[in-house]
Amino acid sequence: MKYVYWQDGDMWLGYLEEFPDYMTQGESIDELQENLKDIHEEVASGNIPGVRHVAELQLA
């Protein structure tokens, strides 16, 4: 799964490309990745209502 990330000061911030509404952070890339896995588990579980998704639309 793709994610977007950047460093801001001492923290790493990011979000899953498919779920841009759910950002997280970590003190290292490894911690950020673990937090992103937790977010994926939560949104994929169906426990969070109204999750918005990103998709591609094929045009002719």
In a domain, 50, yes or no: no
Q: How confident is the model at residue 3 (pLDDT cuts 50, 70, 90)?
A: very high
59 DSSP assignment: -
- The total of structural domains in the chain comes to 1
In a domain, 58, yes or no: no
Of the candidates 4, 16, 14, 23, which has an alpha carbon nearest to the alpha carbon of residue 40?
A: 16
Is residue 60 pLDDT above 90, yes or no?
A: no
Query: Cα–Cα distance between 46 and 5 in angstroms, integer?
Result: 25
In a domain, 37, yes or no: yes
pLDDT one-digit tens code per residue, 6-45: 999 999 999 999 999 999 999 999 999 999 999 999 998 9
Prediction pTM value: 0.83
In a domain, 55, yes or no: no
Of the candidates 58, 43, 60, 29, which has an alpha carbon nearest to the alpha carbon of residue 13?
A: 29
Is residue 54 pLDDT above 90, yes or no?
A: no
